[in-house]
Amino acid sequence: MNEFNRINKLTIILFIIYLIAIFEIIVFKLELPFSQVGQFRNINFIPFHESMIVNGQVNYSEIIMNIIIFIPLGIYVEMIFSRWSTFHKVIISFLVSLMCEVLQYIFALGASDITDIINNTLGGIIGLLIIKVLIKLFNNRSKVYRFINVVATIGTVVMGLLLAILIIANR
């Protein structure tokens, strides 16, 4: 097996773990067990409206977190679907975000919000730009992919351990 195939397999494994984490965090709000299912359903089609206001003030932290959490999606999409057009890669970010919001609505797990879709898609676009800039800077796609996989593996292990500690501590 050549090095690129090993890198690509690791990327796909990390991507799947990332997607599971995204759905657990965004859709199910890390609820164990699913005690909140069916308790809250709301939808907002007006961008940057009510969902941003908390206690009469704009909640910038939610906006920033929605962008940040989707940056890895853009990076993974670029690594896995590098031959696709940028438009199609952006569509993947949009569809993953849309799926999260639709599932929140279906399971009545929180507010489904167009603002979240916009911010999440923006995060995916930023991820695409980050990896494209890194590839241009280092002029070596394989080394950039290897570096990202190392960082993502370390991050995945650390986040997994922190999540395990959180679950154990809250029993």
Is the Cα dihedral 60, 20, 159, 74 positive or negative? negative
Please state whether beta strands 109-113 and 53-54 pair in parallel, antiparallel, or not at all (unpaired).
unpaired
Is the Cα dihedral 63, 37, 167, 95 positive or negative? negative
Q: What is the mean pLDDT of residues 21-43?
A: 68
E strands, 36-130, in order: 40-44, 53-54, 57-58, 109-113
List, for residues 56-65, the tens digit of each pLDDT value. 777 788 889 9
Q: Residue 160: which pLDDT band, with cuts at 50, 70 and 90?
A: confident
List, for residues 65-77, the tens digit of each pLDDT value. 999 999 999 999 9
* Stated pTM of the model: 0.85
More confident residue, 1 or 106: 106
